[in-house]
Amino acid sequence: MKKPNSIRSILEKTLNDLEIDVPLKTHSIWAAWKEIVGESIAYQTQPRSIRNQILFIDVSHSTWIQQLQFLKPTLLEKINAFIGGPLIHDIRFKIGKISAALPASPKDSLWEDQTLDKKTLNQIESTVQKIGDNEIRESLRNVLIKGAKVDRSRKKSQ
């Protein structure tokens, strides 16, 4: 008597036959982007969409697009190795907004150690002094100071 097939094998065969596994595999790229391309590229790029086996990637700056064009064959190889087959045939890059959804790298946490110059602090104070409510004024001051520190940290790391 033949041993019955496991549900897993039946589901895998069905997904393969219906080609439902292709979108599932290709869209797993989003969750593992940093692992696939590496930290430095991941902080400057973000997958946007996949159409007709072409991966569209948003990039933070035109100089990164130029560099990524040189790396395109390597990136394609890494991406297809990750998803287990040649499901992506090309990559297209364009300038786009990169979300801050990626977890901060250890060196990015150094923003807290940044000191702000008098000019920046004075600008923040002149902005918040017009707010009457003390709690709101203090909250906005903290947000503006943190934002200025993050900006300063990013500029130093580039």
* Domain at 7-95, CATH from 3.40.640.10, 3.40.309.10, 3.40.190.10, 3.30.300.180: 3.30.300.180
DSSP state of 102: S
Lowest mean pLDDT among 26-30, 56-60, 142-146: 26-30
Instruction: Find the angle CA(73)-CA(78)-CA(79) to the nearest 5 degrees.
Output: 100
For residue 17, what pLDDT is reported? 66
**Mean pLDDT, rounded, of the chain:** 81
Q: Which of 150, 148, 144 is nearest to 117 (CA)?
A: 148
- Of 18 and 82, the one with more pLDDT: 82
